[in-house]
Structures are given as C-alpha cells and as structure tokens.
Amino acid sequence: MKKYFLLNIITVSIVCISLFTGCDVTKGSWIITGSLNHERSAHSATLLRDGRVLIVGGFDLNSNRETSAELFDPAAGSWSETSPLHIRRGGHTATLLPDGRVLVAGGIGSALTLGNAVEIFDPDNQKWMEAAALNTERFDHAATLLKDGRVLVAGGENPQGKFINSAEIYDPVSGVWTETGQMQQKRRNHRASLLKDGRVLVSGGFDRSFTAYDITEIFDPKTETWTLTGPLNIKRGGHTATLLYDGRVLVAGGFDASINGGVTLNSAEIFDPKTGNWTETAPLNSDHTGHTATLLPGGMVLIAGGFAFPSVTGLTSAEIFNPRIGKWINVDTMHTSRAGHTATLLPDRSVLVTGGFSVVTVPHNSAEIYQYTK
C-alpha cells in the first residue's frame, strides 16, 4: 500500500503540475467502485497516510447512529470492516493527527446523548482508544488541524438543543482538551478553513430555525482570540469552504431558511485574507446544499451532489470551478444521487465519494470515483 501511495504521488506530480497543462479535470467521468459494507450518511471520511480511506459512523437506514468503521483500499477498489467505535455517533468530526492517527470528536449518539465523547483510531493496529472527553458536548461543529499539530473544535449544537459559541483545543501530546476564546457568534453547520498564515476562518452557519448567518470571524492560535472580519455577501449555512492555492477561500452554495420559507443557494464568493473582504464570483450552475467540495490538482474545485430544497432528493450533478476565469463548468453526472455524503482526494488525485442519501433519511452504501484525463 505504501508503494502504491508513493508511486501515484510521483506520477501525478509529473503529469499534473499545473491547472492548464497535463490534466484536464473537466473531462473526467464517474466510475462505480466497491460498495460500503453499511449504508450511511453524515459519516466522516479520512485519508490515511498509507493511502487508504477510513469511513466512520453516520446514520443508517433506520436513522440509528452507526458504530461501524471501514477502510477503502484504492488499489483493490474494495472495502473491509475494521474495529467499531466504542460509541454510536453521527454529525461528528474526524481529524488526521500528525502521527497518522485519527481523532474522532463529538457527534450525536444514541438517545441524543454522548456529544462530548472522543476516540482515536490507530491505523497500525486498527484499534480505537477512548480519549479525554470534550469540555462541551457538541455535534455539527467544525474541527481544524492547526499548524502546530493541535486540533481546534468550535461551535455546534449540544444534545439539549442549545447552540454553542465555545471553542477548545486538543493537544495530542498531552491528550488534553483546553478551552480557548469563544466565537462571537453561536452557530452550527458552519465551515472552518485553515488559512496559509495559520489562522482559522469560520464562515456562515445556522441558528436554531436554520436561518443563516453572514457573520465570519477569524481565530488566531497565537492569541487564542476570535476577531470579526468582513461579512459574507449572502447569508448561508450548509455550504462548502475551500482554501484555494493562492490563499483565498471559496464558499459555494448552502441554505437559508429566512428567504421564502427556505432557499437553497447557487451563489459563490471568495474571501481574501489580505483585505478581510468577500467578493462575489460566478454562481454555480445548480443550487446545492449538503454537497461536497474538493480541491483538485492545479487548483480547480469539484462540487458534487447535495440537494435543492424543497426537494429532499439528492442530486447527481457535479461541476468544477476554475479560479483563473471565475467560472463553473458542468462535468459528468454521478451514477447515484446523493447528499450528506463525503468526498476524498485519493493519492492518484481521483476523488472518492461515499454514501449519503438519495431520499432524506434513506442513506445508501454506494461509492464512486471521479477520474479525469491525465
């Protein structure tokens, strides 16, 4: 597996060096790969250092939280079950630590409990170890690996239905969570982006009624404080946020319940950390929320799936943003409609999407890979 990983990294580095030569990412197609062992949505996907992908938890066909975990081998295109979590959870976060282990934090468990439970997966022995609990119960929060190897967790909702602006940091050396400065805004389903200078940008999110926010703020790990920055042009939650190669952040799609009883968005905008301002860019070709965004080699961004309220059916559509010209390009549609799925950039720079739902509360176990001309 390590040989597979290294060979693909070398190959892609040679043939896909820039945005405009070597790889035409807009001419790709979706290829069906092996199915997951369990139907799931609101799960997590983490690329391990050996090139495999770890899938954890989520919601099953009966809206129960999963304890199951499984591994995808890109060389074989197949899934194998690994040790289950100690605790059922969905709406959690999973973060690859510098030592190759995976930190799974929070999420909603059985009977709406256990939102502060933390476990760590060791890929060497495929075992889960219970770790120190979060100071605050939370799900639908955001987790960010800081440049110093610590993990920042911020916001979310607790099992009692209260929204949270608290934040805390996990130190993998000491194994301890420490509370840090609070965000200016309580929020869930927001997005956190690690900027190139090491600060963390938090954008959008929802209140209790799914009314979206335009409020954005930045966490400085040096001072452990939050500072408001320029607001979004369009209020949104359930969107995606992608750090571009030039250090700017692209947000796309999302939802706002305050407009006409609920509107899914096709708008997109870009944050410039140099000015602290957002600039609208070309809209998506379709409305998306509950979708995924993946930064591709050379700097383009692949948007896949999601749904468009009031429909509760997942989308098959996919499109790619070209930051050089500020345009969205429709690409091959997926074989299966899906929202609440995951997307993972594999070592060969293809994109694996897993699970999600075609109809809300009815997740599936299909997986497919976006491959493009090299």
State yes or no: pLDDT of 263 exceeds 50: yes
Q: What is the pLDDT of residue 115?
A: 80
What number of H helices and E strands is found in the chain?
Answer: 1, 32
pTM: 0.93
**Do 258 and 265 form a contact (C-beta atoms < 8 A)?**
no
HSE on the CB side for 363, CA within 13 Å? 28
Mean pLDDT of 157-180: 95
Q: What is the pLDDT of residue 110?
A: 67
Span of 159-163, 167-171, 183-187 with lowest mean pLDDT: 159-163
State yes or no: pLDDT of 20 exceeds 50: no
Residue-wise pLDDT for 318-341, tens only, equals 999 999 999 999 999 999 999 999
Residue-wise pLDDT for 232-248, tens only, equals 999 999 999 999 999 99
User: Which residues 6+ apart lie within 8 Å of 31 measured at CB?
Assistant: 368, 369, 370, 371
Span of 14-18, 84-88, 284-288 with lowest mean pLDDT: 14-18
**Do 305 and 291 form a contact (C-beta atoms < 8 A)?**
yes
State yes or no: pLDDT of 24 exceeds 90: no
Q: How do the domains of the chain map onto residue ranges?
A: 191-283
Confidence of residue 374 (pLDDT cuts 50, 70, 90): low
Residue-wise pLDDT for 353-362, tens only, equals 999 999 877 8
State yes or no: pLDDT of 164 exceeds 70: yes
Q: What is the pLDDT of residue 331?
A: 97
Q: Which two tokens stand for residue 259?
A: 């407009």
To the nearest 10°, the Cα dihedral for 317, 323, 324, 329? 10
Arithmetic mean of pLDDT over the chain: 92
Q: Element (H or E) spanning 9, and its range?
A: helix 2-15
Q: What is the pLDDT of residue 267?
A: 98
How many angstroms separate the CA atoms of 53 and 244, rounded? Answer: 23
